[in-house]
Amino acid sequence: MKTYSTFLDYVMPYAPGATVAMATLELKNTCIEFCEKSLIIQRDHDPVTVIAGITDYDFDPPITNHLVVKIMKAWFNGAEIFPIAPDDITDPTIYNKAFANANTNPSTPQRYFQKDERTFTILPPSKDTAPSALTMRVALKPSRSATQVEDVLLEDYAEYIGAGALARLMMTPGKPYTAPQSGAIYQAKFTQGINMARQRANRGYVRADARVQFPGI
């Protein structure tokens, strides 16, 4: 894990007048955005015990002070389950506890959707309690309270993240380092880094961890 200060060499020489505090804040904002858009930080979520008749669950991110950007894959008892958009659920009673007959027809979970960065829903609810039955591969980003980020951000993407922080600084009006034209150039480089990381993530190059599990194999 790396602190945000380890990225300062990629920012401070190019933004005269910027304080360390301001540069560090923009580095944090940039790292969050980079992870959110590239999905480059992926991990196996700890197995979740599914409770009979319950659809909503909280994430327990596998990296401290991180949030779940996206569920990449999910399995229930080794069988893959698939994402569904809330708008595609034609019967709201299947997940909305405000309805009197909610959760009256439990079966085997086949679908999921992510409600936000902290919670997700499986559908339909399981008819039985199943210990450690739900496994997931998730993409993560640092939370606002995070003070450290994954090593890969420094090792592979430091210049792009530095460029993103510089773009943010230079787009700030009325500062000694304000330079919108230069900021646009740095923004383009940052976007290039996101696209490269996203392509790597799509190909499975995430340098995440060696504990990748393949349910059912």
Are the C-beta atoms of 69 and 34 separated by less than 8 Å? no
Query: What does pTM read for this prediction?
Result: 0.87
Q: Strand order of the sheet with strand 119-123?
A: 42-50, 130-142, 66-76, 79-83, 111-114, 119-123, 56-58
Distance CA 217, CA 215 (A): 6
Separation in Å, CA 70 to CA 42, 50, 79, 115, 168: 9, 19, 19, 10, 25
Are the C-beta atoms of 121 and 56 separated by less than 8 Å? yes
pLDDT by residue for the chain (217 residues), tens digit each?
999 999 999 999 999 999 999 999 999 999 999 999 999 999 999 999 999 999 999 999 999 999 999 999 999 999 999 999 878 877 665 555 544 444 545 679 999 999 999 999 999 899 999 999 999 999 999 999 999 999 999 999 999 999 999 999 999 999 999 999 999 999 999 999 999 999 999 987 655 443 444 333 3
Number of neighbours of residue 106 by Cβ within 10 angstroms: 16
